Amino acid sequence: MIFRQLFDSVSSTYSYLLASRRGGEALIIDPVLDKVDRYIQLLNELDLRLVKAVDTHLHADHITGLGALRDRTQCITVMGEQSKADVVSMRLADGEKLQIEGVNLDVIYTPGHTDDSYSFVMSDRVFTGDTLLIRGTGRTDFQNGDARAQYESIFNRLLRLPDSTLVFPAHDYKGDTVSTIGEEKAFNPRLQVTSVAEYAELMNNLHLPDPKMMDVAVPANMHVGFSQEQIALKGWALTPSEAMMLIGRPDVAFVDLREQGERAREGEIPGSLHTPYPELGENVSCGGILHELGATKQIIFYCAFGERSAMAVQAAHDLGIASALHIQGGIAAWKMAKGPLFTR
């Protein structure tokens, strides 16, 4: 197991790099834009392939590294389904799994600090974002924060994890790096309350100044989407209605790049093949199944929001699959256009 806790001293942010082995897939939680060069260097040094970059919530105190990491590594950008970021390529909901090769995180919706805050549990540890900090909790006075929701998230979700669970937060301003659930129950001053009302009273009277970066970071972090316009200008995009006309044609192959969980939740375009995006590299390379398929059929990639498929179209064209197209806006746009969906 590879586990690295990385620190941005400007915003006191912790970012976490996870992978099951050298040479394998990696994921990063809460990357900071200014540190992207450092992450790329470390990924190279450890011979890791970044597959997912995840934000626990929309940050107000630093600019996320999600967009830059996607542009440099073609990784999947991930946030919770409530996120107001313009487009992220994959959205998670409570109870789902966040997975890469050899790493499995349970996804818990923990609103309160913001209404899009998530925590991720991995066997002996939990990544709590700004929901639960070491001897503190994330403020609840902006970005649809809600002290009562945070109380529920902390007391009814996080504190029910085993006492020995390691707590890795998104920030620490005092130099602490890790705690445990048991330790926070006993010593976190914000948790020594007897009711939700008492907690709300405490949180609503903190009178904190706005974060220094807030006016810059929030708008910047809302716009991390991949520009699908560039792909459309190259003539490689179909609208959902154009793609619907091609269903059932023997010379056309619809290729779903999403994960199994997304397919089960949203449904599939009838008759489509499934090759998950992280395996795209080998599939479109010479000798890969999509390379073979692209020689005789028109490939139409699709995913959840059109981001993974836009990157896939670019990769396919780069490798000589000249007919590859994608559905702009993905299944989200497909549903709006009332495209047919099949659920197993």
Residues 6+ apart with CB under 8 A from 245: none
DSSP state at residue 145: -
Contact positions with Fe ion (CB under 5 A) in 276-315: none
Task: Please say which residue, 130 or 268, places its beta carbon nearer to Fe ion.
Answer: 130
DSSP 64-114: BSHHHHHHHH-PEEEEETT--SS--SEEE-TT-EEEETTEEEEEEE--SSS
Q: Compute CA distances 338 → 141, 241, 331, 333, 341, whole Å.
A: 39, 9, 10, 9, 9
Contact positions with Fe ion (CB under 5 A) in 162-191: none
Asked whether the beta carbons of 309 and 275 are under 8 A apart, the reply is: no
The CB-of-154 to Fe ion minimum distance in angstroms stands at 15
Strand extents, DSSP E, 196-297: 237-238, 252-256, 273-274
Task: Please say which residue, 172 or 256, places its beta carbon nearer to Fe ion.
Answer: 172
The CB-of-123 to Fe ion minimum distance in angstroms stands at 25
Name the closest residue to Fe ion (Cβ).
130
Asked whether the beta carbons of 85 and 58 are under 8 A apart, the reply is: yes
Task: Please say which residue, 73 or 131, places its beta carbon nearer to Fe ion.
Answer: 131
Binding mask 115-134 for Fe ion (x = CB under 5 A): ---------------x----
Site size for Fe ion, by CB under 5 A?
1
The CB-of-75 to Fe ion minimum distance in angstroms stands at 22
The CB-of-97 to Fe ion minimum distance in angstroms stands at 24
Report the distance separating Cα 146 and Cα 138, nearest Å.
Answer: 10
The CB-of-13 to Fe ion minimum distance in angstroms stands at 9
Let me know how long the chain is. Answer: 344
Contact positions with Fe ion (CB under 5 A) in 231-270: none
Task: Please say which residue, 113 or 291, places its beta carbon nearer to Fe ion.
Answer: 113
96 binds Fe ion (CB under 5 A): no
Task: Please say which residue, 126 or 269, places its beta carbon nearer to Fe ion.
Answer: 126
Contact positions with Fe ion (CB under 5 A) in 130-159: 130
Q: Across-strand partners of 121?
A: 106, 126
The CB-of-299 to Fe ion minimum distance in angstroms stands at 40
The CB-of-2 to Fe ion minimum distance in angstroms stands at 26
Q: Which residues contact Fe ion (rule: CB under 5 A)? A: 130
